[in-house]
Structure 1
Amino acid sequence: MHFHYLTELIQLSHEIEQLGIPNSRSASDEAGFIDTKAKVLEILRVLYGEKSREFRVVKLTYSPATVVKVVNYIISRSDRISPQTKAVNM
């Protein structure tokens, strides 16, 4: 996975978590979520393609928690699949 995309996903995950903090959800919070979700979708499109499960789940959901879970799953998976493990598996 490209390091640039990984760091951007981490940053977007934190932005979504901040939007999901229980308080009076305003229209600006929802607009912020939609913008952040679009950025996440663009990264997922580049990394995995539009037919990937990750892309489809994020595209179909309206829940910030679900988007954060998908992003955290990708981050944890990328930690397990480091260049060293790829070299060993070849």
Structure 2
Amino acid sequence: MILGRELEPPSIHPVTELDHYITAAIELNRLIYGNESSSIAVGAGMRHTDVKWTAYGGSGIYSNEEGFRKGQRKAPDWEKASATGKRFRWAS
């Protein structure tokens, strides 16, 4: 229970296709101390990840004019339900 609301089950889509997944990274390191058994390095870098997927059919719960998560959805497997993309960037 979060803020007085019960969590509903997530959307379930029997057919989910990965459209693309791309990741790239650049990193620079500088060795500041090293011997035969140990080393210390300082580094900086950046990583970028881009992923997109499409879900078809399935069931789900959503909010509508009746209230928070009051609507229900059931779609055939061939109907496009959602297309979602996420981008992540990390820097250190």
State the TM-score, normalized to the length of structure 2: 0.21
Flag the structure with higher strand content.
2
- Bigger Cα Rg: 2
Instruction: Specify which structure has the bigger relative contact order, considering alpha-carbon pairs within 8 angstroms and separated by 6 or more residues.
Output: 1
State the TM-score, normalized to the length of structure 1: 0.21
Flag the structure with higher helix content.
1
